[in-house]
């Protein structure tokens, strides 16, 4: 659907569900992948305009990932998070057939930054940076504490099942990499099994999916990979070296120490198992490495020889170094 058609459909939609709305302006596409699009726009109202974001899957498109929770589930999870005090955009409307926009939802825009190099370097975030690792722990404890009985239908996956899925993905590429073989063997040998605590897991809690301002984390985005499982998975994933952007001595997204994150998590009522966190950090590092290899294969095989895919693909070698640092540390 072209931009004018999207704007017309959005204007028709918001007049139906937003009290006092007279129309919209400034509709602009922010991203558009194989199945999902993100648009920004402003809802015009006499009582005050509302800056909004549309996240949608156009008619005729489904999820490209078997892991995806689905846009309806994402919207419900964001509502639950918002109500539980977890920083999250406020969901304004879930699309229906009458909106003629496909599947998706509209949320209120949250101002802030998502670009890691700005968050880690710019002066405006200098006061927030020392507090962010602890704040991330606090947020994750709140997220994991959301009542499971209130959750939409989500897949539940164990560490053993995740190892099996990664092994299948790796073997399917037919691209032998000895360090990945080592990591798979280590994961199987150290598999903690089913967690005693099964909670909501965000599944992709890291830089790029956090809106941060000078006051700290303002919103958690992209709940697409949410599922039920071991809560330590989120703590391990945010510590993967690829999300530190050069600040390798600050494991929590280049912002601070694991101990600071653990302290925030415990203060908010969570229980930390450091061994499980390391297991999931290794798992996350291998997962990202396999994803990078997949990007490189898609670049090589075409037909879309995207330079972005090639650039991501070459990072697979970085994950091999990261895995060796985790599994065979010097000294």
Query: Is 235 within 8 Å of 229 (Cβ atoms)?
Result: no
Backbone angles phi, psi at 103, to 5 degrees: -90, 145
Among 140, 133, 258, 253, residue whose Cα is nearest residue 200: 140
What pLDDT, in 10s, does the model give residues 114-169? Answer: 999 999 999 999 999 999 999 999 999 999 999 999 999 999 999 999 999 999 99
Please check the confidence at residue 275 and state whether its pLDDT lies above 80.
yes
pLDDT at position 189 is 98
Query: Which tokens hold the place of 131?
Result: 């507090």
Query: Is 272 within 8 Å of 235 (Cβ atoms)?
Result: yes
Which domains does the chain possess?
Answer: 23-108 (3.30.200), 116-327 (3.90.1200.10)
> Quick one: pLDDT band at residue 190, thresholds 50, 70, 90?
very high
Terminal alpha carbon distance of the chain:
58
pLDDT at position 68 is 83
> Quick one: pLDDT band at residue 310, thresholds 50, 70, 90?
confident
Peptide bond into 208 cis (omega under 30): no
The Cα–Cα gap between 220 and 78 comes to 9
Please check the confidence at residue 61 and state whether its pLDDT lies above 70.
no
Average pLDDT over residues 234-254: 97
The SS3 assignment for 178 reads helix
pLDDT above 70 covers a percentage of the chain that reads 95
pTM (2 decimals)?
0.93
The Cα–Cα gap between 30 and 108 comes to 15
Query: Which tokens hold the place of 281?
Result: 């950090």
Higher local confidence (pLDDT), 77 or 59: 77
Q: How far is CA 199 from the centre of its chain?
A: 16
Please check the confidence at residue 299 and state whether its pLDDT lies above 80.
no
What pLDDT, in 10s, does the model give residues 1-38? Answer: 567 889 999 999 999 999 999 999 999 999 755 458 99
User: What CA dihedral angle connects 257, 263, 269 and 270, to 10 degrees?
Assistant: 40
What pLDDT, in 10s, does the model give residues 62-100? Answer: 544 567 889 999 999 999 999 999 999 999 999 999 999
Average pLDDT, the chain: 93
pLDDT at position 59 is 65
**Own/partner pairs for 306-315, CB < 8 Å, 24+ apart?**
315/242, 315/288
The Cα–Cα gap between 158 and 67 comes to 13
pLDDT at position 3 is 79
The Cα–Cα gap between 92 and 78 comes to 11
pLDDT at position 64 is 45
The alpha-carbon radius of gyration of the chain (Å, integer) is 21
Backbone angles phi, psi at 118, to 5 degrees: -70, -45
> Quick one: pLDDT band at residue 296, thresholds 50, 70, 90?
confident
Sheet containing strand 103-108, edge to edge, reads 23-32, 37-44, 50-57, 103-108, 91-94
**3-class SS string, 114-165:** CCHHHHHHCHHHCCCHHHHHHHHHHHHHHHHCCCHHHCCCCCECCHHHHHHH
The Cα–Cα gap between 142 and 101 comes to 33
């Amino acid at each position: 659907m072209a931009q004018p058609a999207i704007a017309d459909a959005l204007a028709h939609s918001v007049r139906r569900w937003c009290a006092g709305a007279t129309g919209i302006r400034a509709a602009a596409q922010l991203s558009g992948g194989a199945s999902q699009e993100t648009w920004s726009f402003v809802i015009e109202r006499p009582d005050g305009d509302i800056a909004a974001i549309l996240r949608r899957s156009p008619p005729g498109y489904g999820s490209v990932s078997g892991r995806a929770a689905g846009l309806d589930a994402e919207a419900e999870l964001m509502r639950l998070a918002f109500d539980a005090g977890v920083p999250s955009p406020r969901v304004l409307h879930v699309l229906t057939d009458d909106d003629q926009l496909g599947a998706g939802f509209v949320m209120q825009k949250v101002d802030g930054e998502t670009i890691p190099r700005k968050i880690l370097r710019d002066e405006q975030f200098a006061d927030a940076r020392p507090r962010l690792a602890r704040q991330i722990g606090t947020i994750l404890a709140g997220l994991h504490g959301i009542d499971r009985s209130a959750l939409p239908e989500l897949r539940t996956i164990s560490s053993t099942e995740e190892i099996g899925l990664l092994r299948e993905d790796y073997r399917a590429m037919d691209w032998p990499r000895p360090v990945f073989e080592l990591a798979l063997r280590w994961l199987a040998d150290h598999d903690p099994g089913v967690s005693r605590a099964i909670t909501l897991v965000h599944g992709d809690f890291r830089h790029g999916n956090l809106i941060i301002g000078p006051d700290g984390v303002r919103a958690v985005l992209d709940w697409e990979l949410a599922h039920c499982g071991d809560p330590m998975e989120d703590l391990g994933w945010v510590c993967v070296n690829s999300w530190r952007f050069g600040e390798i001595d600050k494991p929590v997204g280049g912002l601070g120490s694991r101990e600071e994150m653990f302290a925030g998590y415990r203060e908010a009522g969570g229980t930390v198992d450091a061994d499980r966190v390391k297991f999931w950090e290794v798992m996350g590092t291998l997962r990202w490495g396999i994803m990078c290899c997949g990007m490189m294969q898609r670049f090589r095989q075409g037909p879309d020889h995207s330079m972005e895919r090639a650039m991501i693909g070459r990072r697979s070698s970085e994950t091999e170094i990261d895995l060796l640092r985790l599994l065979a540390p010097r000294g």
